[in-house]
């Protein structure tokens, strides 16, 4: 199924460079995009709701239980909608958007097992058994932002890193989306991590139903030392 989705994405026509430039003319950067989106009342996107969110939660909650995960850190915690379905012993949420952190701190104010930090304020050396990246990587449109994010993601996991994302390099028709073959980056820059398993999404991308399907799949990495 993963191979078929990759084949579909490869065959989606690239939009013309003129249209790309036009659509990105008012796009400052990925950090600014998400902060403005949350401040205007926007959410983390369809992947954090309904059946897509439940698919992710079912897999992650089972994984945490089966592998006796004591702590989780998520880079890109968003508005907390996905987190409502999670069952983690201890959780640290990290996001580049101050507004998103404000939302989550309010939403989980009475839950002492959860804490939230703006990415720039995360204490150095913060680690957890499991580091998560859910529907984030293809939103990192700038190369240097992607590289910095990936290094911090893998540095924060002590046992496992789980990524839920597309895994193909391709321009997309939305200014805040840029698909990347991130597993190539991991193989090159994080040799101490190995791809433990890949789990296909139950609802592969369908352009006629984009809000209830996804081009993301699960990629589970484990330390090799």
- Asked if pLDDT for residue 191 goes beyond 50, the answer is yes
**210 vs 110, more confident:** 110
Q: What is the largest CA-CA distance in the chain?
A: 51
Q: In the predicted model, what is the mean pLDDT of residues 14-36?
A: 57
Domain 2-149+156-223, CATH number (from 2.40.50.100, 1.20.1730.10, 3.40.190.10, 3.40.50.150): 3.40.50.150
Give the tens place of pLDDT for each residue, 127-163: 999 999 999 999 898 999 999 999 999 999 999 999 9
Domain boundaries, the chain: 2-149+156-223
Give the tens place of pLDDT for each residue, 36-67: 888 888 777 787 889 999 999 999 999 999 99
CB atoms within 10 A of CB 54: 13
CB atoms within 10 A of CB 74: 27
Helical residues (DSSP H) of 48-181, grouped into ranges: 50-66, 98-107, 143-155
Q: In the predicted model, what is the mean pLDDT of residues 80-107?
A: 97
Q: How confident is the model at residue 27 (pLDDT cuts 50, 70, 90)?
A: low
**Considering the entire predicted model, what is its pTM?**
0.85
Q: Which of 173, 174, 170 is closest to 182 using CA atoms?
A: 170
**β-pairing verdict for 217-223 and 157-165:** antiparallel
């Amino acid at each position: 199924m993963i191979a078929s989705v990759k084949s579909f994405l490869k065959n989606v026509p690239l939009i013309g460079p003129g249209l790309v430039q036009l659509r990105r003319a008012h796009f400052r950067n990925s950090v600014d995009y998400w902060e403005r989106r949350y401040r205007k009342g926007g959410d983390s996107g369809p992947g954090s709701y309904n059946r897509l969110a439940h698919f992710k939660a079912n897999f992650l909650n089972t994984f945490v239980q089966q592998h006796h995960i004591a702590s989780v850190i998520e880079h890109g915690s968003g508005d907390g909608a996905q987190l409502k379905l999670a069952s983690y012993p201890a959780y640290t949420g990290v996001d580049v958007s101050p507004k998103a952190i404000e939302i989550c701190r309010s939403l989980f104010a009475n839950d002492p097992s959860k804490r939230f930090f703006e990415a720039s304020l995360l204490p150095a050396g913060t680690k957890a058994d499991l580091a998560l990246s859910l529907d984030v990587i293809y939103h990192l449109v700038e190369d240097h932002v992607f590289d910095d994010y990936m290094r911090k993601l893998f540095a924060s996991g002590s046992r496992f890193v789980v990524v839920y994302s597309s895994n193909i390099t391709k321009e997309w028709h939305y200014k805040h989306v840029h698909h990347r073959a991130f597993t190539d980056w991991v193989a090159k820059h994080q040799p101490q991590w190995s791809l433990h398993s890949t789990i296909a999404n139950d609802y592969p991308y369908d352009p006629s139903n984009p809000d209830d399907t996804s081009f993301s799949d699960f990629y589970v990495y484990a330390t090799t030392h």
